[in-house]
Amino acid sequence: MLTKVAGMFVKIAFASDADVFLARGQATRPVARFNRRGEDALYLSPDEISARVAMGQYVKPGDPPRVLIRYEVEQCDLFDLRHPDAASTYTLARQRWQDALARGEEPASWRAADEIRQAGHVGLIDPSRRRPGLWHITLMRWNEPGAPRVVPVGSPIPIEVDPGHR
């Protein structure tokens, strides 16, 4: 259920946030699919198309400018939610986490992430639920002993994002 990954990965973010993603241990890190508030998680995609799909639901008219940030990720083994033996964990991971939060419940995807962290994995590969064949990674540990080194490559690139495109 482990897959080796390495190389260039990207993230689309608000230009004002371009420098914050590699920071760890931030109590203000917002909640997301695989992390509670303040819990480390670095969400990346292998290419711009995958990154646009990943963030499409979060784009609103009038949003501040966004940038494409490139990162070099050192080779690491990630828990692959696409693997048939990971089906029970993927069942938890694919649940609509924002709906659970809106109901005042803990998202099932957080339990999936807990399982992956407790097993000692540095992160996971998450298949796209919007576009079959695309995928993303979530690192739970990076830039520490036993975890991949992640470094920014070049400067953030300003990009246009269409709120109607998903």
Residue 66 resides in a domain: yes
Per-residue pLDDT tens over the stretch 130-142: 899 999 999 999 9
pLDDT of residue 58: 84
Residue 165 resides in a domain: no
Amino acid at 55: M
Residue 152 resides in a domain: yes
Report the predicted TM-score, pTM, of the whole model to 2 decimal places: 0.94
- Name the domain count of the chain: 1
Residue 166 resides in a domain: no
Residue 164 resides in a domain: no
| Secondary structure letter of residue 86 according to DSSP | G
**DSSP labels, 13-60:** EEGGGTTSTT--S-TTPPPBTTB-TT---EEEBSSHHHHHHHHGGG--
CATH classification at residue 34: 3.90.175
Q: At 56, is the pLDDT very low, low, confident or very high (cuts 50, 70, 90)? A: confident
Q: Which residue range is the domain that position 72 belongs to? A: 2-159
Handedness of CA 32, 158, 25, 88 (dihedral sign): positive
Per-residue pLDDT tens over the stretch 58-116: 888 899 999 999 999 999 999 999 999 999 999 999 999 999 999 999 999 999 999 99
CA dist 108 and 91 (Å) reads 9
